[in-house]
Each structure stands twice: as C-alpha cells, then as structure tokens.
Chain A
Amino acid sequence: MRPEPKRREMPVQPPKERIGNFDEVALGYTAELAEEEARRCLNCRTRPCVEGCPVNVDIPAFIRKLQEKDAEGAYQVIRGSNSLPAVCGRVCPQESQCESRCTMGLRFEPVAIGRLERYAADVHNAGAEAQDAPPTDNGHRVAVVGSGPSGLTCAGDLARKGYRVTVFEALHTPGGVLVYGIPEFRLPKSIVAREVSALTAMGVKIETNVVVGRTVTVDELFEQGFEAVFIGSGAGLPGFMGIPGESLNGVYSANEYLTRANLMKAYRADAETPVMKGGKVTVVGGGNVAMDAARTALRLGADRVTVVYRRSMEELPARREEVEHAQEEGVEFRLLCSPVEILGYRNENDRQDPKNGFVTEMLCIAMELGEPDERGRRRPIPVEGSEFTLETDTVIMALGTSPNPLIKNTTRGLDVNSHGGIVVNEDGLTSREAVYAGGDAVTGAATVISAMGAGKRAAHAIDEYLKGKG
C-alpha cells in the first residue's frame, strides 16, 4: 500500500477568534486523525527518529500502540523516557529533531510525531487519575535547583529510581520557563501543573520560594544531608542592546513582559500586576520568545504589533509554525532593520505631565546581509543613511539572556565559561564533586527538550555516582 504523502493537519482555533483569547491555539488530533496519522509510520528498521530525539523516546513503539488504538499504551512508552510528554508534544521543535530524520520525510512529509505524542499525553491526562505510585525508597537524598524542564526531568528520573528528591524553586509556582515564559495559548498552565503533580505523586518534594545561592547555598545543601545536587537554574539576566532610551517607560525585556502576562496573570481584567496593554507594540528579536511576546501583545489588545529583526526571514531563528501562526494573527514583520535609539515623550513646560518618560518612537536603520559569520549566518550590515522611525508605545526586547551569576558567586570551586555558563562534562558533572548542572544555566538560552535531555543524562550520572559510593 502506498503511504499517504501528506500528514494530517491539526485543528486550530481560527486566527480572528484566537487573538481575542488566551486559550490554546492548536486543538490537538481527534482519535480518528491520530490513528490515520499513526498509520503513515513505515515502522522502518533504521529508526532514525529515535536518534533525533534528545531524550531518545522509542517513537516507532509508541506509534505502533497508536495504530492499535492504544493511546494509554503509547503514553506509557513515551513516559518511559520522557517525564513531560504533554509539554514536549506542544513545545518541542520536532521539525528539526525527530521529524527531520523520519524516513517518510525522504520522499513525502514526515510523520507528525509531535502531534501524536501530544495526542497520547492528552488522552492519558483526560482519563482516570492513574498516577505512578511512589517507588521503593532507596534512602539517598538529591537536591534539584530549579523546577524548569531540566530540573523536573532530573527529579522525575531519580524519583523513579527510588531517590528522595527535593526541588527548590525561587518563584512562587513550580515550572520555571514553562510557567513564566511560554504563554498559556501555546502551553496551558494546567498541563504544567498536571505534570508537576505527577512528580509529587511519585514522592518528589517541591519547595517554592527558595533562592539557592541566597536562602540556602549549594554547600549548605550538602551539610543538610543531600548527597548530590543538580543545578537547573535556567537562563538569567535579560540582554539589552545598549542603545539610548532603553530605560524609558514602556520598554520591557521579553522576560519581564511575559512574566507579567503569564506568571502574574496580567492579562486578566482583575489582575493586581500591571502590564501595558493596547497601542502600538514593537518586538525586537526573531526567536521563539519574540514570537511569544508579539502574540501575547496582540491578545492583550494591541492595535498593531511589529517584529523588528535585523536579518531576513530565512535566518529568523523562531520555529516556522510559530512564525506562521504570528503572521496569520496579524503580526507584522519588519525584516532587515535594527533599532538605533528609542525616543520618549518630554514636556519641557510641565514636568508633572504623566506622559513624560514614556516611549513614543523607535529610530531604526535598514540592514543588508554581508558575509557569513563563524556560525554560518550572514552578518547584517547597516545601510548608511537609511534611518527611519516607527511609532510605538511599547518596546519588547527579546534578545536572549545570559546565565544568572547567583549560584556561581556563592558556590566555591564551580567553574563557568566566558559567557557565564556552568562548565560540565558529557554527564553533566561540574567542576565540583557531586554537583551536576544542565539546561540554560549551562548552554545559555536553548530549547525545553535539550534542557530535558541534560536533566536526564545528569539523573543517570547521579544514579551511577551514588550507586558507586554505596
């Protein structure tokens, strides 16, 4: 039988409707669509997709279960190597990982592995409250710093092996970037909460409001009886451009803007945390975070949202799907241009004028692409005399982050590289015995799944280490 060349599309909320709410954009496969899509898998012998997955999910095996209409069975296969299936099914860049290796993709469209993963996880979550029972306690205690994707994965894998794990979270809610960064319409908070409760059901203890490095140091964790520590503290300080006007009112880092909107629920009418809504919004940057910020701004009632990026669409680093969704929703893209200065309102005659100090315009310059840089991306070069202004009320800088220095500064003997990232070996071991690290704290801003992969490798290494110690 000749396979279906095209993958099954996933139903989505229509663009006009969805910009008026914070509900999830992608609605997920129906049972019928999932079964049809699962049948497209050739079950090939080479299984390249598994290699493409940072946590090596047995993809052909779970798809086979779906072909047999056994969604719960499929979920159990995924869960065997992935602690957060419902999250990964939504936010993983499958097109550059598992799906990019799919044998079907050589001639046709690759199997929609991510959509199938999401389907299996959602069916499981909608079903009975069946949760993993706590495994037999092996008596060893491990501390995990940060409850983002790497920390949760590391904690889950260790708990399954019988370790007593405590996760320390600086914010008031567990989830890290999954709750403060990724918006509700892409990853509902209820899904994160559900994955977290699955971990606590296994015996993982989560302590919020603990800033490791301040409330307690890594050394003190050892004194308290923890035998190994995993640092998954995430990315830190937001980057700014260093251009004039970045401290004007109305200029946000994407971290601040998204934290206000997501974690602090500023999108709700009765929210106690304010965020600037409406008007003209300009987002600077071209990554997934920039897309999240732009689409959040639309939903908060912006009249116009413009993404300003210094290279062309080809180099834009955000996932294709996110860019397409943003375009469908009406986000405008000003490519090949870069901000030079942000200008603000200033009433010389009335220093009490409440508009004083607020953003009014952004001065930009057009760019052209020159020779490729060391990473192979063509370097943008300013075109002389091409300055122009964009009217804007809010500017969101989505320029990435640099690692938070808090843990480095308070942990003796913890080496970091020139970017401030914690130095680790292939097992995630740092320069300190029994201290492991992974995720953005090591790599700088990267993906949820690569952080999960790091958490997983570290959990394995911690297990080996503590077993070796006896």
Chain B
Amino acid sequence: MYQILEKTELNSSVVRMEVAAPRIAAKAKPGQFIILRVDEEGERIPLTVAGTDPERGAVTIIFQTVGSTTAKLGRMQEGDSIRDFVGPLGEPTELEGLRRVCIVGGGVGCAIALPLARALHDAGAEVTGIIGFRSREQLILEKDFSACCQELTVMTDDGSHGEKGNVTVPLKRMLEQGRSFDSVIAIGPLVMMKFVALTCRPYGVPCTVSMNPIMIDGTGMCGCCRLTLHRGDETLTKFACVDGPDFNAYEVDFDEAMSRSRMYGEFERKVREDTCRLFRGVET
C-alpha cells in the first residue's frame, strides 16, 4: 500500500498528490512514469512522474479527473493509501547536451513538462516555456514555470489569461523570428503534439513528444501501448512503455494514436452514465 502524504487541488479538475513510494522516489528521472491501481478492483493506469523527493521517499503525480479511475483517485484524501504503485517505467527523457530548449505544455501535460523544464534549468540550459490551457480556470503551475523559464508565454483558447490562441501561435512566431532551439519538447493532448510537430517541421528543429497511450502492465508484455513510427521508408511498431514514452515527433503516426486512444470511449461513456444514474438514485 502506498500512502498519500499530501493532496492539493490545482484547479477544479486537476489534483496533485505526493505518494509515499521510496524506491521509486530514489530512482525516477524526468520523463518516466508509474502505473497505479487505486484499489483491489481497480484498473491499471499510467501517470507520468511530476516530481520526486528522495529524502521523504515521495513521488508527485498530477492528474486530471477525466475517467472513472482518476475520479476515484481524486476522491481519496491525505492519509488514504493507493493499492498498487509501480515504477519508474519507461526511458527517461534525453536531456544530455541540450543548451537551448523550448518546452511546450498543454493542459495537464504541463505537469509532466515542468520537471523537464526544471531539470534543464538546473543544468544551466536556457529554457523557453509555452504553456496552453482552455481558459483561466484550467491554468496550473504558472509560477513554477516562471521560476525555471527564461521566457514564459501563457496561452488560453478564450483569451481569459495570457494570449488568446493555441501554443503553436507563439512557437511559430519564435521560429519565424529565427530563434534556434536544440530541441522542442511537447507534452499535452495528442492533437496539440501533432500540430507542434507540424509547426516545427519546416524549420528543421528537432522535436520530441511524450506519448501517453492506454497501457496495462507497462513492462512490455501486453503490446496495448503500441504505436507506429514512420522512419524513412520503414514502418516500425514500438511499445510506448519500454521504447518510450518519448519519441521523435516527426516519426509518430498521430492520427493512428488518436484513433487508438478512443478505443474504449464508448465503455467510458457508459460507465459515466451508470455512475450518474447511481448518484441520481442516491439523491432521490
């Protein structure tokens, strides 16, 4: 069992938790993830490590309450325990030798982008941050990013905070102005990462994305998290859990990844409806 040491609500649907998992805290590097199971009946879900405190033996996770499992996790309180918590899984993000980097975060993906920005900043790199949200209500971690970015641009779809528009707008502007980056690292919704890749491509700047497909075991056993890469004339099948989660953005088949992410959409919708009905029953 893995105890929740601290819980903070970052906005109405994004929660930060510090979980006691000393072995993982001692090992995890930016870009790696964990898999957890809330209780004995729960499903296994992957969440990227948002930070560690090896001295306290704590691992930070940040998640959005979108599905039934994250909703259940979000209802847990400090002192409660998570049934299973395993990791660190996946390969750490390759940060070695990067001097000038643009970090692009979208929504809750910013939680994963932050430890990368921090690690780069601590290593003396020049970090440019672009973070995007639907609106002011969804904004998270702005201060944390300010602390480790030389320059930070905040975007909202509705213009309620920062600039109006999506993250590709300032990215394109910077690239147009001739800003050069050793790497652009994008973490967020699939569609955002796809368009970041399309924006970067004409400028030839290396672009890395962090993929977060559906997973079960996370150790390279089930193949559920497979994705397709197009490398030259070759078509490669890769497993995000052991080969990733980071991939060269120019090689990833995003349309396929988006289609695969919807595989259990109907199932989730039904669970949501059933749960709503259940609550209606309780109220009346």
Contacts and interface: CB of A to CB of B under 8 A. Distances in A.
A264 B44 contact: yes
B86 A354 contact: no
Contacts of B263: 249-250
Interface stretch (A36-44, A93-101, A207-215): A207-215
Contact of A247 (B69, B218, B228): B228
Given A264-B43, A274-B264, A356 B222 contact: no
Contacts of A242: 237
Interface in B215-252: 216-224, 226-228, 237, 239, 242
B24 interface: yes
B221 A215 contact: no
Interface stretch (A255-263, A298-306, A310-318, A443-451): A255-263
B226 A247 contact: yes
A60 B253 CA distance: 60
A406 B44 CA distance: 20
A150 to B, nearest CB: 16
B217 A406 contact: no
B237 A209 contact: no
Contacts of B256: 247
Given A209-B86, A238-B222, A406-B220, A249 B27 contact: no
A172 B37 contact: yes
Interface string A256-297: 100110001100001111100000000000000000000000
Contact of A354 (B24, B42, B226, B262): B262
A404 B86 CA distance: 17
Interface string A192-230: 000000000000000011110011100000000000000
Contacts, number: 118
Contacts of A52: none
B88 A236 contact: no
Interface size class of B (residues with CB under 8 A): 35 or more
A61 interface: no
A341 to B, nearest CB: 13
B211 to A, nearest CB: 13
Interface in B37-79: 37, 41-44, 68-69
Interface string B257-282: 00110111111100100000000000
A256 B267 contact: no
Contacts of B223: 237-238, 240, 252-253, 255-256
A91 B264 CA distance: 33
A211 B89 contact: yes
B201 interface: no
Given A236-B220, A272-B68, A210 B43 contact: no
A405 interface: yes
A272 B42 contact: yes
A180 B44 CA distance: 13
B108 to A, nearest CB: 21
Nearest to A242: B237
Interface centre among B68, B224, B228 (most CB of A within 10 A): B224
Given A247-B228, A405-B242, A208 B219 contact: no
A214 B221 contact: no
A67 to B, nearest CB: 44
B221 A404 contact: yes
Contacts of B68: 272
Contacts of A171: 217
Contacts of A26: none
A272 B216 contact: no
Given A170-B217, A236-B221, A404-B221, A272 B226 contact: no
A356 B259 contact: yes
B61 to A, nearest CB: 15
B222 A256 contact: yes
Contact of A272 (B41, B85, B224, B266): B41
A170 B260 contact: no
Contacts of A271: 41
6 contacts: A216-B23, A265-B41, A272-B41, A404-B219, A404-B220, A406-B220
Given A264-B44, A272-B42, A404-B219, 12 more contacts: A172-B83, A215-B24, A234-B221, A236-B219, A237-B221, A237-B239, A238-B221, A240-B223, A240-B226, A246-B237, A247-B226, A256-B223
Interface of B: 23-24, 27, 37, 41-44, 68-69, 83-89, 216-224, 226-228, 237, 239, 242, 253, 256, 259-260, 262-268, 271
Top 6 closest A-B pairs, CB basis? A357-B259, A256-B222, A253-B223, A209-B86, A274-B267, A238-B223
